[in-house]
Chains A and B, each alone.
Chain A
Amino acid sequence: MDESDLEVVSLPRKLRAPDVPGAFKEIQARREEGPVAVDFGEVEDFDSSALALLSHLRGCAPDVRVINVGEKLGRSFEVFLGGTPPATCAVDEEDLPTRVLHSFSNRFLTQMRRLGKFFVLLGDELYHTASYLRKRRGVYPGEIWNQVFFMGYKSFPITCLLIFLVGVTIALTSAAQLKLYGADIYLADLIGYGMLRELVPLMLGVILAGKVGAAVAAELSTMTVLEEVDALKTMGVVPERFLMVPRLIAITLAVPLLVALADAVGIAGGIIVARMSLAILPSSFLREMFTVVDLGDFFIGLGKSVVFGWAVIVGSGYKGLTVGRSAGEVGRATTESVVLSVSLIILIDCIFALILY
């Protein structure tokens, strides 16, 4: 096709960043009508955005033909972009519904791949933990007790405080309602049953997700970014065993202690409210509570808490070990680990509820 047959778009003398969008729009509008020639002959005052536009247009042949590139512009182009191949002139041919469908399907497949990786890690951890318990190898000496100290002792004050406050809050809100029906004493049943079977495990899980899960994800993702995980692999150490097994065993040991303490302080919160607002003696409270609550309820709560603890460690470990390579990924992994852990806890709690009730 001869140049004289083409629609010519003449670019202005000044072609800097503020002028480029307008010029680009005009070229695109003319292209929809047919092939165009873009005349750079007038361009004298330009910056790198003009060079980028020129580079883009070079890749749009044969729809676009670039003409009259001046010596100054041409020289600058050669110096700064001459070595780079022209960018392909992408034309968005997909309509909106197709793009939305593609976007959804891509996201769905990505989530499925992530889910697959999560279950692979879960399987790995079960295998590595069983293998460690059998052979007692592959874990750094003393690391389990370091983790028990961090997860148990360091989590104990905040856990006790929050569970106590939950006990007080539940007792206060329930007391007002029970008083209306003269059923004051049943506050003991409600607190005892609710705390042991539901509230303590759930709250403890959420506290562990925020405190322990975030710390695990931050630590492991930092190690991944700093190549420490790679270093472990090349030392013949299996990171999934070295890093995760001590944490899984530690949470299994720490959670029962935390549950026992949390049950005690949660019920104590209920006893205090019962004494102060309903004038129920602690001995009467406990006597009534033990008519509906037994050791089985304690063990159900304990079992749930341990499973929630595992969910926190595996969820956070998964986020920490599958992180990218930039520092920004550490923050993202930490946040996502808390969301994942809490989601897992609620999902598992729902499954427990379906099984137990």
Chain B
Amino acid sequence: MDIIAVRNLVVGYGALQILRDLNFSIPASEITAVVGTSGCGKSTLLKTLAGLLPPLEGDVFFRAERVDYVSEASLAALYRGIGVLYQDGALLNNLSLFDNVALPVRMQHPDMPETVIREMVHDRLAQVGLLEGAGKFPAELSGGMRKRGALARALVLDPAVVLCDEPSGGLDPITSGHLDDLLLSLRDAFRTTFVVVTHELRSIEKVADRILVLYDGRLHFSGGRAEVMSSDDPYIRTFFLRKVEHDDA
């Protein structure tokens, strides 16, 4: 079953079109990697899926409901169903890690008893291995810890979909590997759908069930991991093998 569907999507700023005529679906309970060269529109796509950047044309459907980017109710329904992991975590600097993770619960469920909130936050922090750092402020955390903290915040209300913008970006291979394992275990345990924008080939090979390849603002290829990896398409081979193949080669 598809949880997100994108139809004839055009996104841009003013006259500048960054994404053109995109059509694809994101299946539920799978990890979909969005890949492509820098500037091809991956992060723009993520912003549109997150409800932050309205399309110039076309539609985004979340759980078969069209997202209306000018309707507060429609966006609120979208936000209830998604969590977003930003590139640098985007934890609020004036709140402790605990309060950052508790923030979505406190804001969306103001009547929730504090003891329940504490349990929810501790559970999530334990899942990402950060229970010890609950009282610390973002400035006191390493890059990897900030990302894991941000993932705990994105997951605290059990969203159906988590959108991740370069989760491994800037992390060492070991921390990056742990984060990949975490995504896989969350997918398996909670049937969470992940849309991951990434450049990390190892990460893609490890976690991606499906891969969307963007090129110059258009969907160049989409398919299962094995399908993409065995593709003869020159751009995909160049991207995944990091080898430029000339026509005469």
Contacts and interface: CB of A to CB of B under 8 A. Distances in A.
Interface stretch (A9-17, A232-240, A262-270): A232-240
B107 A234 contact: no
Contact of A230 (B52, B83, B103): B52
A234 B82 contact: yes
A235 B108 contact: yes
B71 to A, nearest CB: 14
B52 A234 contact: yes
Q: In terms of DSSP, what is the predominant structure of the interface of chain B?
A: mixed
Contact of A242 (B50, B87, B107): B107
A235 B104 contact: yes
Given A235-B103, A235-B107, A236-B76, A227 B50 contact: no
Contact of B90 (A140, A228, A242): A228
A242 B150 CA distance: 19
A140 B88 contact: no
A141 interface: yes
Nearest to B103: A235
Contacts of A87: none
A137 interface: yes
A223 B92 contact: yes
B92 A236 contact: no
Interface string B6-30: 0000000000000000000000000
Contacts of A226: 88, 90, 93
Contact of B51 (A140, A232, A233): A233
Interface residues of A, number: 17
Contact of B80 (A138, A141, A230, A236): A236
A233 B92 CA distance: 13
Contacts of B83: 234
A231 interface: yes
A99 to B, nearest CB: 21
Given A230-B52, A233-B51, A141 B82 contact: no
Contact of A233 (B79, B87, B95): B79
Given A236-B76, A236-B79, A236-B80, A231 B90 contact: yes
Contacts of B88: 226-227
Interface in A186-242: 223, 226-228, 230-237, 242
A242 B110 CA distance: 13
Interface in B90-122: 90-93, 95, 103-104, 106-108, 110
B86 A236 contact: no
A271 B50 CA distance: 62
Contacts of A140: 95, 103, 106-107
Contacts of B125: none
- Counting from the closest, the 3 A-B pairs by CB-CB distance are A231-B90, A236-B79, A227-B90
26 contacts: A138-B107, A140-B106, A226-B88, A226-B90, A226-B93, A227-B87, A227-B88, A227-B90, A228-B91, A228-B92, A228-B93, A230-B52, A230-B84, A231-B86, A231-B92, A233-B51, A234-B51, A234-B79, A234-B82, A234-B84, A235-B103, A235-B104, A236-B79, A236-B107, A236-B108, A237-B103
